[in-house]
């Protein structure tokens, strides 16, 4: 059964279980303290919000998302499916992002995609479902599974900040690649999502302490 990180208490219980599973994480938790749960809106609005922010500054992404929300209230897949591409472009979306959102909206309308059921699927299968969609890369899929659905076993193998934290925390000679991150996290199943929260917290500790710089996008 998939664990859902729906509350701070659930996350903290999962972190404590992780430390019991892998004692190497004990000093990491000592350094960070309990991570705070991070959640975002689920469903089409949630993944659309993430897509809008791809490869943009926080300020630019927020401005575009604000215009979209004002133009489509409520922000629903059907409204985006029916919207003219030139109207979406005037709101700030690139042609590639318009294609991504419209494709998802059509898939949802046809019943071929259900974003909510991914919360109960095995993490790697849910990740594969999302990354099969045009314009949805591993980072977007991981952020949606972790923060919009609270998937307890989603693992952001390609996130540079998590990679850097794992390198330092586990004493590795080099920052692991996304491919290398998968076997490194095997011992944390089925709580890899909780482990991600811990490693992100550790990265922030490292950044404050040593000036480590890595992009999470």
**142-181: pLDDT as tens digits:** 999 999 999 999 999 999 999 999 999 999 999 999 999 9
Same domain for 144 and 56?
Answer: yes
In-domain check, residue 129: yes
Chunked mean pLDDT (size 10), the chain, 217 residues: 93 98 97 95 95 91 96 95 97 96 96 93 95 94 95 95 97 97 96 97 90 46
Confidence (pTM): 0.87
* Length, in residues, of the chain: 217
In-domain check, residue 3: no
Same domain for 123 and 202?
Answer: no
Both tokens of residue 52?
């809008």
Same domain for 32 and 103?
Answer: no
In-domain check, residue 215: no
CB within 8 Å of 59: residues ≥ 6 apart = none
In-domain check, residue 77: yes
Residue in 89, 100, 14 with CA at minimum distance from that of residue 50: 100
Residue in 2, 5, 108 with CA at minimum distance from that of residue 47: 108
φ, ψ dihedrals at 174, nearest 5°? -145, 160
């Amino acid at each position: 059964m998939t664990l859902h990180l729906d509350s701070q208490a659930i996350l903290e219980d999962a972190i404590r279980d992780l430390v019991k599973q892998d004692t190497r994480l004990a000093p990491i938790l000592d350094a960070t303290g309990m991570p705070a749960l991070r959640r975002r809106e689920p469903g089409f609005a949630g993944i659309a919000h993430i897509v809008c922010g791809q490869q943009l500054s926080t300020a630019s992404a927020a401005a575009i998302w604000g215009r979209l929300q004002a133009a489509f209230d409520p922000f629903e897949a059907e409204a985006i499916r029916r919207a003219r591409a030139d109207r979406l472009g005037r709101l700030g979306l690139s042609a590639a992002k318009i294609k991504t959102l419209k494709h998802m909206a059509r898939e949802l309308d046809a019943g071929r995609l259900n974003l909510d059921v991914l919360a109960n699927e095995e993490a790697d299968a849910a990740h594969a479902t999302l990354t099969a969609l045009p314009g949805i890369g591993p980072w977007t899929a991981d952020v949606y599974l972790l923060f919009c659905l609270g998937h307890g076993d989603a693992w952001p193998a390609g996130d540079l900040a998590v990679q850097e934290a794992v390198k330092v925390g586990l004493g590795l000679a080099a920052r692991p690649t996304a491919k290398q991150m998968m076997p490194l996290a095997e011992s944390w199943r089925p709580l890899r999502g909780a482990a991600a929260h811990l490693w992100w917290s550790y990265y922030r500790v490292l950044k404050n302490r040593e000036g480590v710089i890595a992009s999470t996008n």
